[in-house]
Chain A
Amino acid sequence: MTLVPVTYKGGIFQHDIVVDLIEDLGGYVVQKHLIAQEVVLQCFVPREDIELIREISRPLFGEVTDSPLVGTEIAVVSMSLEIHHLPHPSCDIAEYVRRLGAKSNMVSLARGPGKRIAGLNDEERDVINEHDLAVFLLGNFETCIEYKMPTLRRGIEVPIVLCGGPAIDILKKITDPPLDGYVGNVGRFMRRTKEADQLDKLDEIVAEVTRVLEKKREEIAKDPLSVSPARLMGLIREKVPAILDVTSPTPLTVQMAGLRVKLPYDSFAADLRKIEIEDGITLGDVADVVPSRMRDYILVRILPFSETNTVV
């Protein structure tokens, strides 16, 4: 059974039928948003059952669309929190990838701007490394990007998609070793992205992010995870009731190979490790439960099959 990421949009009336159906089919609802009279479900469903969901949700005016970014956490790295970079383009891009199902976090660097003075500290590096992918939003000058990129990428282990003012071939030329993805002609700008050509640019960024993540998915598939992150999410929700009291929009953030649990590490890490998944196998057996650099959250890193020799 292959689970594929999709988004369900429909009316709030009887939407629990769809939620139950997805769960009965063996799928997982990763995020649920109730917006006025509308409900948006970001979920993983079996590929062969998408038509069935469409069929059953038709009388409810539900709509099922592909969302390649569901179940990923993306860091949008902006050079600072000043008016120069926010709200455009950083927020525009962060919001756009969110529409396709990703959970995007903005990471603003303390000393990001400038050429010689730009830098990345250890906390920023670790926070970025906790994501599935980092989108670096740089400025308009190739001289500056060429000079500062080696400093900014130091220690970053997750795939990087670089956005900058110069054309894509120049960006490729000035970064060595090559990065995972590039989007040219998106540097610093001070206007809202609402014209067709600007939206096309955002689509291009999303396409590039999707491409890089697909590549990462393929890598993971070569040595599959011991347990699916979405399954762990369901289990934690069931076994650790404290998560239901967390007011954060996504108390459990699903990543491609892990999970961010927004509970204090000191009080809940031991409980998490003890959760039994199946036949006496606990969460601690198949995943590393480590403190996150983001607040006092917990990060669950699921180990691959090659390390645990179990798949549950």
Chain B
Amino acid sequence: MFAVEYFEVECPEPLGAEYYKQIANDVLLDHNLLKVVNKIHIFIDPKIPVFVAVGILKRITSVIRVRDFANINPQEGKMTLVISDETYLASTLKIFWERFGKEKVEQPDRFTIILYGVQTPPAEIEEIVVADPSESLHKDLIYALRCIAPEGFRLRSEIFTTEKFIFVASENTLAEDMDSLVKAKFAMMGEVPP
């Protein structure tokens, strides 16, 4: 079910842990984050109360290029791009407008872009980078963890690096020994904190 290597929710109330595992799975799935999270350990103690989520991220090196979602058909005086996935259409158009000028770019429908009188070879257009998924990754992850954490836990301490993340939340002032708790949770996954 989970595409992640390690996924555990620890809680003194076993039923609560089960529900939170489901919530965490749903939220990560909704935000398309299961493919970037490698390991995640969530610890909740409603008695203290505290919510801790620590984890390891997969490295995302790939960027999205035009060739990943479009086919280019060069014709005389124009080039037609057939789009298979419109997720990156807006950013692609923006890049084309800047590079070739608005008068040379036409978009007759959702799945087609036509470039008129563009001298750049098709192979070069195919290589244009249109999006970098890792840019929005942290933003999505922070949002997702805030969704997973109980809503009343509004005092937060968050650390996000390129490889690891720590998210601690409580409704009371966070205790000073949170570092040792975080360390212990990382140790359970066989890792060390960043």
Contact = CB atoms under 8 A, between A and B. Distances in A.
Contact of A189 (B22, B30, B152, B171): B22
Contact of B23 (A141, A166, A188): A188
A141 B30 contact: no
A134 to B, nearest CB: 20
Interface residues of B, number: 23
A83 interface: yes
B23 A115 contact: no
B191 to A, nearest CB: 27
Contact of A116 (B27, B151, B171): B171
Interface string B47-71: 1010000000000000000000000
25 contacts: A82-B151, A83-B147, A84-B151, A113-B151, A114-B151, A114-B152, A115-B171, A118-B152, A140-B13, A140-B15, A141-B11, A141-B13, A141-B16, A141-B46, A142-B16, A143-B47, A165-B15, A165-B19, A167-B15, A188-B19, A188-B23, A189-B22, A189-B23, A189-B26, A190-B30
B152 A115 contact: yes
Interface in A240-279: none
Interface in B33-53: 44, 46-47, 49
Nearest to A83: B147
B91 interface: no
Contacts of A167: 15
A190 B147 contact: yes
B153 interface: yes
A118 B153 CA distance: 11
A133 to B, nearest CB: 25
Ranked nearest first, the 10 interchain pairs of A and B with the lowest CB-CB distance are: A114-B152, A113-B151, A113-B152, A141-B46, A143-B46, A84-B151, A140-B19, A190-B26, A114-B171, A140-B16
A258 B16 CA distance: 40
Contacts of A80: 151
A166 B152 contact: no
A162 interface: no
Contacts of A116: 171-172
A165 B22 CA distance: 12
Interface string A118-162: 100000000000000000000111111000000000000000000
Interface of B: 11, 13, 15-16, 19-20, 22-23, 26-27, 30, 44, 46-47, 49, 147, 150-154, 171-172
A108 to B, nearest CB: 12
Contacts of B19: 140, 165, 187-189
A191 interface: yes
Contacts, number: 69
Contacts of B16: 140-142, 165-166
A36 interface: no
A126 to B, nearest CB: 24
A85 interface: yes
B150 A190 contact: no
Given A140-B20, A189-B19, A79 B27 contact: no
Contacts of A139: 150
A187 B13 CA distance: 14
Contact of A85 (B30, B151, B154): B151
A117 interface: yes
Max count, chain A CB within 10 A of own CB: residue among B11, B22, B27, B46: B46
B150 A113 contact: yes
Contacts of B30: 190
Contacts of A143: 13, 46-47, 49
A31 B93 CA distance: 50
A189 B25 CA distance: 11
B131 to A, nearest CB: 25
A3 to B, nearest CB: 42
Contacts of A85: 151
Contact of A79 (B20, B151, B172): B151
Contacts of A113: 150-152
Nearest to A139: B150
Contact of A144 (B23, B46, B147): B46
Interface in A65-114: 79-80, 82-85, 113-114
